[in-house]
Amino acid sequence: MKCKTAVIGYGGMGSWHAQQLRTMQEMELCGIYDIAPEPSNRARKNGIYAYETFEQLLEDKEVSLVVVAIPNDLHKEVSIKAMEAGKNVICEKPVALNSQELQEMVAASKRCGKLFTVHQNRRWDEDFLVVKKLYDEGTLGKIFNIESRVHGSRGIPGDWRNTKEHGGGMVLDWGVHMLDQILMLTKKRIISTYAELTNITNEEVDDGFKILLKFEDGLSCQVEVGTSNFINLPRWYVQGENGTALIEDWDINGKLVKVSDWEKRDAVPVVTAAGLTKTMAPRTDDTIKEYKLPRIKSDVRDFYRNVVKSIEKEEEQLVKHDELMRVMKLMETVFQSAEVKQAIHEII
């Protein structure tokens, strides 16, 4: 039997959800609801039923699952109302504006006996899955540094995402994805968080950030978003004891370089305009080997398939409440560090 689903909010992400759901045998899109007339009319032109009111959607007994894709400040209220009406809920990220709101949503899920999860879709990004494979398989030896970046040059989006009232800013918009990815790589505890936020194109909320995380096993992670970068730095830069991985972009252009001979340490000095250096001379070709990056195919619709199987008690929920809470508390620590302009030494 298909999981009958409705989408609340038919903007960029809401329409994306609707498009994905319509391609799946496991799902049936019953309709959408949007508070504004234009998105509702657009949905109807696309052959999708548009509910007249939020209450009408909640009263539809056919609908067992709703996807909440509306501004961040409304996630808690709408998600809880949907669960109280007997609906399972997928909420867009960030799940809430703070950990207290998230706790209320989790409590409602338990009270109502309904599934509640969050669309952490970038766990299915193939560039991330390549890094996870390298990490899990020890391809580079012990990894001691990971740098994750997303750069753009268009400034902060001009819709509700640039307002504090609605939960805008790049930490909540992109940081939630990138920090979630880092925490999916390692279960080790964070012992230190340092963050700097930028306000180049917007004073009300952050339009970029640099976050430095230190883990208990010595791993360092730098997570960075910029919206005023006209030359992008690599999406991923990963250093291990035996090699380095470079991933330029989401298309996984890049390379993997590993040591092939530890014994040959001689180097030809590099001559600069002001002198020479042997320490920083590159390795000779006979001591290293370059490899192509592995390729991993993914299907983001597996997220929805897991939700359906979780509702039917056939699988464990992939995006778990404790994972969501850890990311939320980490983002709160990021804001705290940026405000006091120093590292926060708390276990997360």
pLDDT band at 276 (very low <50, low <70, confident <90, very high): confident
Query: What pLDDT shows up at residue 265?
Result: 67
Q: Using CA atoms in the order 173, 174, 179, 182, what is the torsion angle rounded to 10 degrees?
A: 150
Query: What pLDDT shows up at residue 263?
Result: 73
Residue among 252, 125, 110 nearest 180 (CA): 125
Query: What pLDDT shows up at residue 244?
Result: 98
Q: At what angle do helices 12-21 and 37-45 cross, to 10 degrees?
A: 30
Residue among 259, 75, 260 nearest 172 (CA): 75
Average the pLDDT over each of 88-102, 104-118, 135-149, 279-293 and give the range with the smallest value: 279-293
Percent of the chain past pLDDT 90, that is, above it, reads 88
Query: What pLDDT shows up at residue 342?
Result: 98
Q: Using CA atoms in the order 277, 212, 214, 256, what is the torsion angle rounded to 10 degrees?
A: -50
The whole-angstrom separation of Cα 241 and Cα 244 is 8
Q: What is the pLDDT of residues 125-166, one digit of tens each?
A: 999 999 999 999 999 999 999 999 999 999 987 788 889 989
> Each residue of 143-161: b (16+ CB within 10 Å) or e?
beebbbbbbbeeebbeebb
Query: From the centroid of its chain, how far is CA 274?
Result: 45
Strand order across the 65-68 sheet? 27-33, 3-8, 65-68, 88-91, 116-118
Query: What pLDDT shows up at residue 286?
Result: 85
Summary mean pLDDT of the chain: 95
- Domain at 3-119: CATH code: 3.40.50.720
* Contact residues for 126 (Cβ-Cβ < 8 A; gap 6+): 250, 252, 295, 296, 297, 298
Query: What pLDDT shows up at residue 12?
Result: 93
The whole-angstrom separation of Cα 212 and Cα 301 is 32
- Other residues' Cβ atoms within 10 Å of the Cβ of residue 78: 21
Query: What pLDDT shows up at residue 280?
Result: 83
Q: What is the pLDDT of residues 57-103, one digit of tens each?
A: 999 999 999 999 999 999 999 999 999 999 999 999 999 999 999 99
- Other residues' Cβ atoms within 10 Å of the Cβ of residue 65: 24
Query: From the centroid of its chain, how far is CA 307?
Result: 18
Query: What pLDDT shows up at residue 192?
Result: 98
* Contact residues for 226 (Cβ-Cβ < 8 A; gap 6+): 149, 150, 151, 152, 198, 208
Residue 9 has pLDDT above 80, yes or no: yes
Residue 292 near residue 254 (C-beta atoms within 8 A): no
Please give the CATH architecture assigned to the domain spanning 123-252+293-297+329-340: 2-Layer Sandwich (3.30)
Average the pLDDT over each of 79-93, 263-277, 329-343 and give the range with the smallest value: 263-277
Do strands 254-259 and 116-118 pair parallel, antiparallel, or not at all (unpaired)?
A: unpaired
Q: What is the pLDDT of residues 184-234, one digit of tens each?
A: 999 999 999 999 999 999 889 999 999 999 999 999 999 999 999 999 999
Query: What pLDDT shows up at residue 140?
Result: 97
Q: What is the pLDDT of residues 20-55, one digit of tens each?
A: 999 999 999 999 999 999 999 999 999 999 999 999
- The two tokens of residue 328 are 């939320």
Partnered with residue 243 across adjacent β-strands are 240, 258
Task: Note whether 3-119 and 123-252+293-297+329-340 share their fold.
Answer: no
The whole-angstrom separation of Cα 169 and Cα 202 is 9
pLDDT band at 261 (very low <50, low <70, confident <90, very high): confident
H helices of 91-249, where? 99-112, 126-137, 170, 176-185
Map out the domains of the chain as residue ranges. 3-119, 123-252+293-297+329-340
Q: Please confirm whether the linkage preceding 282 is cis (ω < 30° from 0).
A: no
Query: What pLDDT shows up at residue 282?
Result: 84
Residue 320 has pLDDT above 80, yes or no: yes
Type of residue numbered 170 = M
